[in-house]
Amino acid sequence: MSSRFVRYAAIWVLLLLTIWVADSFLRSLYLTQSEPRTVAARGDLSSTEQHTIQLFQAISPSVVYLFTDGDRPGERGRRGAGSGFLWDAAGHVVTNFHVVEGSRRVRVRLDTGEAVDATVVGTAPDHDLAVVRLAETRAALRPIPIGRSADLKVGQQVFAIGNPFGLDRTLTTGIISALGRRLPTSGAREIADVIQTDAAINPGNSGGPLLDSAGRLIGVTTAILSQTGVFAGVGFAVPVDAVNRVVPALIRNGRIARPGIGILALGEEDAARFGATGLIIARVEAGSAAAQAGLQGQDRAGSPGDIITHVNGRPVARIADFALELERAGVGATVELMVTRDGRSRRVPVRVMDIAN
């Protein structure tokens, strides 16, 4: 009985092995695709895909690639790169200030592939904006459409076109993650109402356009929040309403007014030593609007000067807060300061002046 079972078992094992080998052979013989596969049919692109493609095709000719040679001590021969976009048909290109800062030569590569020399027309470090103008070119220049940033909403879809890591004409998409951010710039100042986005922005994207779903410029990409310098989901853009105010002034005058009243204020750490809330005046420039208004700085003994606590009713605690309120008012306007001296507060009207000269 046991020998019969063994024979049957052996037969079944051999049968299974035969089936397994035959299956493997037949699959190899009849199922192997040794020739190019037939392309599977697909339907039309989705409406979202079609819209994104059309937006890129329409706007990418307005986006350019900038590369620079450094001119700072120790930086001769150092090359930089960034993005920009055509502002007008006369060849003015908008980019970030930090893209062209310290450069002795700027060249711009257009959508056609042509590389053109460019001259820096004007810079606005407080807004991280700059304008360069192209030398002669026969290329057809297509200025970028301009939108608004005052009515943007968190959650809107946005598109960024630029040249990250030197890879030109790269499109990334995302949403507006937040509005009203502040971004530090030079001289203890800040850019107000900055747009935060999760659209990928990497080194080389700087100066490129941030677009809304209508393909209009709503911001100029300027920075990423990352310790490594590589995109980590948080990018920023200068709002187009500021761009549309600053750029024409740079084209006309090569500079933009820097609102001030002619004071030097203590830094936050120094001010904290006095336990005061507000902006402590360290020095008042002779002949300035602040001097004409009777404001006083520190005395020779080092006692704190006048303390500015409010501008037009808005509290100020930092130099950046104060600068922002003066910018809101504008050069030539008169602002009302709340000033504390010897424990007493008073209102002081002061004319806003241009301290850029």
Is a pLDDT exceeding 70 seen at residue 183? yes
- Average pLDDT (120-132) is 94
Q: Which value, to the nearest 10 degrees, does the dihedral of the CA atoms of residues 48, 51, 52, 57 take? A: 160
Range in 23-27, 87-91, 290-294 the model is least confident about: 23-27
Domain boundaries, the chain: 53-134, 157-253, 259-354
Catalytic residue among 206, 241, 288, 306: 206
Is a pLDDT exceeding 60 seen at residue 77? no
pLDDT of residue 89: 94
* Four-way CATH pick for 157-253: 3.40.50.300, 2.40.30.10, 2.40.10.10, 3.90.700.10: 2.40.10.10
pLDDT by residue (tens digit) across 20-35? 777 677 676 666 777 8
Residues forming a β-bridge with 344: 341
Catalytic residue among 62, 83, 111, 128: 128
When the pLDDT of each residue in the chain is averaged and rounded to a whole number, the result is 87
pLDDT of residue 269: 75
Which fold does the domain 259-354 belong to in CATH? Pdz3 Domain (2.30.42)
pLDDT of residue 11: 77
Is a pLDDT exceeding 90 seen at residue 237? yes
9 pLDDT band, cuts 50/70/90, is confident
Range in 4-18, 20-34, 270-284 the model is least confident about: 20-34
pLDDT of residue 319: 85
pLDDT of residue 31: 66
Burial annotation 16-29 (CB, 10 A radius, 16+ → b, else e): eeeeeeeeeeeeee
Structural domain 53-134, CATH architecture: Beta Barrel (2.40)
pLDDT of residue 254: 93
Range in 76-80, 235-239, 277-281, 294-298 the model is least confident about: 76-80
pLDDT of residue 226: 64
Catalytic residue among 62, 83, 98, 306: 98
pLDDT by residue (tens digit) across 129-182? 999 999 988 888 999 999 999 999 999 999 999 988 877 889 999 999 999 898
332 pLDDT band, cuts 50/70/90, is very high
Same fold, 53-134 and 157-253: yes
Give the residue with greater pLDDT, 14 vs 309: 309
320 pLDDT band, cuts 50/70/90, is confident
Determine whether 98 is an active site residue.
yes
Q: Model pTM?
A: 0.80
For 7, 145, 274, 277, 283, the CA distances from 270, given in Å and listed in that order, are 98, 46, 7, 12, 14
